[in-house]
Amino acid sequence: MAISLSDIAERAGVSVKTVSGALHGGSARMSDDTRQKVKAIAEELGYVTNLAARGVRQGWLPLVGVISDGLITSPFATEIVRGLDGAARSAGMAVFAVNHSSGQSIGSVIDEVQQFRPRAVAYAAMYHKDVDLPPAVAGSVGVMINCREASGRVTSLVPDEEGGAREIVRYLLAAGRRRIAFINLPGILAGTLREKGFRAALEGAGINPLVVVPAVRRSVYSDRAPSLVAGHVEALLATGQRPDAILCGNDRVAMEVYAALARAGLRIPDDVAVASFDNQVELASRLDPPLTTMALPHRAMGRLAMEILLAGEPEPPRLRKLPFHLVERASV
């Protein structure tokens, strides 16, 4: 079927090992003449390296396996994969992803991945959460992305939720806002951590948070849960203490806040500033006015993950928090 080294060897009148050396072994000693001739014939025949064969010799394939937990619906998944992919390709690796559907045990998914003898394996969560890796398989996973591994045996990469919240609060304060409300995402780790950062930043400035309320019914954040946002905004506006800034748990919440404020006849940012988390570009940049929001470091997590995976000497496992990135638009 496909051309192999021995086809080239025969045609060039040299041995297989010479061909191998000419094409792949950069430092193999041989005359430039031979090397060029072999390369020319390989090119002519359309030779393509058989990585499976090399893999059986080396014991691994130039692949990086990514186990993604649950559905890959989120657009963030692509960002993580993109970060991984970019770094992987420059190292001559390809990324293959397998879904960890809720039915299966993590062990069986890892076995599935290990069949390919990948160079490295990463585990990626689709939203920031805690994950408990069974001891037996912890050794097969090189890095955890967007989740905190409980046992501490594996390096975990997560967004710095607290820091991100502090940063956006400081930005609102610098813009002169003082009565800041937070419509948070309840029941998820990111929400809990952001609330901590939110309160800490305000406290540091000697200001009390106006209010912290959940975007949907407490303890269940899901896109399908009925939204409480409109009600919250109306309630906030009905009080004497009208907020001069509303921080939102994500861009979709901000979208609803925009609508509620528009109904109330208030202008953004003149009457009320709005800021949020996520930076779903397609949404945030299309709102009127375009939304100022904290971008999650998904791409950076992917890139750093690959660096860690492909690094020679593994550093001791630890939790690394990656900074958010402020995307300034016009809503503050």
Partner DNA sequence: CTCATTTGGGTTATCGTTTACCCTATAGTT
Partner DNA sequence: AACTATAGGGTAAACGATAACCCAAATGAG
Cβ distance to DNA smaller for residue 58 or 104 = 58
**By the rule CB under 8 A, 99 interacts with its own copies:** yes
Closest distance to its own copies from the beta carbon of 21 (Å) = 18
Distance in angstroms (rounded) separating the CA atoms of residues 144 and 78: 16
How many alpha carbons fall within 13 Å on the CB side of residue 261? 24
**By the rule CB under 8 A, 95 interacts with its own copies:** yes
- Please report where in the chains the tokens 């025969």 appear, as a residue: 10
**By the rule CB under 7 A, 53 interacts with DNA:** yes
Using DSSP, how many helices (H) and how many strands (E) does the chain show? 13, 12
Cβ distance to DNA smaller for residue 21 or 197 = 21
Q: Closest Cα to residue 282, out of 96, 121, 78, 26? A: 78
**By the rule CB under 7 A, 59 interacts with DNA:** yes
Closest distance to its own copies from the beta carbon of 303 (Å) = 14
In the list 36, 40, 43, 56, the residue contacting DNA (rule: CB under 7 A) is 56
Instruction: Determine if residue 109 is left, alpha or beta; phi over 0 gives left, psi from -120 to 50 gives alpha, anything else beta.
Output: alpha
Q: Which distant-in-sequence residues (6+ apart) come within 8 Å of 103 by Cβ?
A: none
Closest distance to its own copies from the beta carbon of 186 (Å) = 16
Cβ pair 210, 135 in contact under 8 A: no
Closest distance to DNA from the beta carbon of 81 (Å) = 27
In the list 23, 173, 266, 327, the residue contacting DNA (rule: CB under 7 A) is 23
Binding residues (CB under 7 A) for DNA: these are 1-2, 4-6, 13-18, 20-21, 23-25, 29-31, 33-34, 47, 49-50, 53-54, 56-59
